[in-house]
Structure 1
Amino acid sequence: MILHICSATEWTGQEYRAPSLETDGFIHCSDPGTVHLPANSLYAGRIDLVLLEIDPARLDVPMRWEPGVPPHPAGIWFPHVYGPINADAVVAVHDFLPASDGAFRPPDSVARP
């Protein structure tokens, strides 16, 4: 499974198009072990977020593992979805709130290998 962070109002249950699809040509995603990296870097203080849990096998568009944009200092690769995310590829939606210390961690409800 891969994950995408967005606001609760951005996810409508329909085909999903993140702004990065226009600017970067793909939708930025993470896996359960890396989702905290972009969350803590880009979304500090946000309490309106959800995680879209996406089954890559159900995507109607290509997904590739590539270096982050910008590249992560540790060389971590992330899944990038090259087109809109079809609604039936989203198998679950999880509230994504920071912990009491303000840091994001994956919710226990996210599927792990």
Structure 2
Amino acid sequence: MIYKLLTGTEWDAARAAGHFAGSAVDRQDGFIHLSAAGQLVETARRHFAGATGLTLLAVDPAALGAALRWEPSRGGELFPHLYAALPVAAVVEAHALPADVPAADAVARLLG
């Protein structure tokens, strides 16, 4: 499984459209930023500190085809980047994160 953090509003819009075209940062960079399980807590800590109303998506990488690439990013570590819209059908689970818990802590609890 790979993962995407986004706002609940973005997830609602994606479900209505049938796909997620990316957040502002994703669109600026030209791909949708995703994380492997071992990368997710640090991603939440670095990029979503103080954010509320977040949703964590668990995504089946096999459903993304050749548009998914593993590329060096933070510290040279390989991260999953999606060079296409994320189809809602590829999302296996969606979890609304509690607003009263830091995103990194909420993600760590979900991942166990």
TM-score range for the pair, normalised by the shorter chain length: 0.7 to 0.9
Does the residue aligned with 1:36 lie in a helix, a strand or coil? helix
State percent identity of aligned pairs. Answer: 34
CA drift at 1:39: 1.0
Q: TM-score under structure 2 normalisation? A: 0.79
- Alpha carbons of 1:52 and 1:95: their partners in 2 closer, same or farther (altered >3 Å)? same
Which residue number corresponds to residue 76 of structure 1?
77
Does the residue aligned with 2:39 lie in a helix, a strand or coil? coil
Which residue number corresponds to residue 10 of structure 1?
10
RMSD: 2.3
**In 2, Cα distance between equivalents of 1:31 and 1:23:** 21
Deviation per CA, 1:8-65, whole angstroms, max 9, x where unpaired? Answer: 1100212101134431111000011111112111111112111111101112561011
CA drift at 1:97: 4.2
More helix by share: 2
**In 2, Cα distance between equivalents of 1:92 and 1:103:** 17
**In 1, Cα distance between equivalents of 2:27 and 2:103:** 29
**In 2, Cα distance between equivalents of 1:77 and 1:58:** 19
- Alpha carbons of 1:103 and 1:4: their partners in 2 closer, same or farther (altered >3 Å)? closer
Does the residue aligned with 1:34 lie in a helix, a strand or coil? helix
**In 2, Cα distance between equivalents of 1:88 and 1:54:** 9
CA drift at 1:107: 4.9
- Alpha carbons of 1:96 and 1:32: their partners in 2 closer, same or farther (altered >3 Å)? farther
Gaps of 5+ in 1: none
